[in-house]
Amino acid sequence: MAADTVLRPPPPHSGGARPPRIAADRMPRHVAIVMDGNGRWAQQRGLPRSEGHRAGSVAAHEMVYGALEIGLRHLTLYAFSTENWKRDTGEITAILEGVRRDLDAGRIRDLDVRQRWSGRPGRLPEELVQAFAHEERRTRARTGLTLTVCLDYGGRDEITRAAAALARAAQAGDVVPDLVDEVVFARHLPHPDMPDVDLLWRTGGEQRTSNFLPWQATYAELYFTPGPWPDVDRRDLWQAVAEYGRRRRRHGAAVPLASPRKPPTAPSAPL
């Protein structure tokens, strides 16, 4: 981070909505979002799908602002999957150019956001990858929100690359195969510092995860909302986090029943 960068607070909500105060023990550490429904949003309005992606970018910025306002530490956004190459070239170009435009416009540039890209190397336009690398270098010392943008991201691809990295490390004698456990494996993921996902939210009505963060989200609370992505704003993030706060997470442990009320102590009978 350049020494002269002055960090700004996020712009306030257009309708004046104020962030809720969330108790520390009800706050997720990592929220991951499948931003789905852009195409249908556009089609319902008689617009090309590219307009849905453009509107979706406004919603994505809202999430960053809303996340900063409540003090969320990690936000991961699914913007383009390894399967999305099946779409027609025009739509793919519109999505990738939109991401590039957003990076250039720099609406989050001076916020306390550490930004990075997660995805499969080698297929995205090189200048887009370079633009992400530049942002990553520029923002790496920031301590507020870590924003990971998943672009040409696939969970199976990520796990496969981790397996390959582990195999290389074993071949080099740096890892003993018999000692590989979950911790050692996770160290070979492309972003080993990414914490487990606490809350995985998908808009657009589909109830699936579509190859998003299978390693990190094994114990995530799942939250599905029916509306398309371009219709959400930061208040929807706050609502998702409030819902998370009401969930009871057990991680496999047996939770004791609420302890029975103790009967009022009877005055002891005289001996």
Binding stretches for ligand IPE (CB under 6 A): 34-40, 78-81, 83-84, 95, 204, 206, 208, 210
208 is in an annotated binding site: yes
Q: How far is the CB of 28 from ligand IPE (least distance, A)?
A: 20
Mind telling me the catalytic residues? 36, 84
User: Is residue 51 annotated as involved in ligand binding?
Assistant: no
Nearer CB in complex with Mg ion: 83/110? 83
Residue 1 Cβ vs Mg ion, minimum distance, rounded to whole Å: 35
239 binds, among Mg ion, ligand IPE, none (CB under 5 to 8 A by kind): none
Q: Which helix H or strand E contains 175, and what residues bound it?
A: none
DSSP labels, 143-207: -SEEEEEEEEE-HHHHHHHHHHHHHHHHHTTSS-GGG--HHHHHTTSSSTTPPPPSEEEE-SS--
Contacts of 16 (CB under 8 A, 6+ apart): none
Q: Which residues bind Mg ion (CB under 5 A)?
A: 36
Judged by beta carbon distances under 5 to 8 A according to partner kind, the member of ligand IPE, Mg ion, none in contact with residue 154 is none
Region of 118 please: left (phi>0), alpha (psi -120 to 50) or beta: beta
Contacts of 4 (CB under 8 A, 6+ apart): none
Tell me whether residue 268 is annotated as binding.
no
Binding residues: 36-41, 49, 53, 81-83, 85, 87, 202, 208-210, 221
Which residues fall in the annotated binding site for Mg(2+)?
A: 36, 221
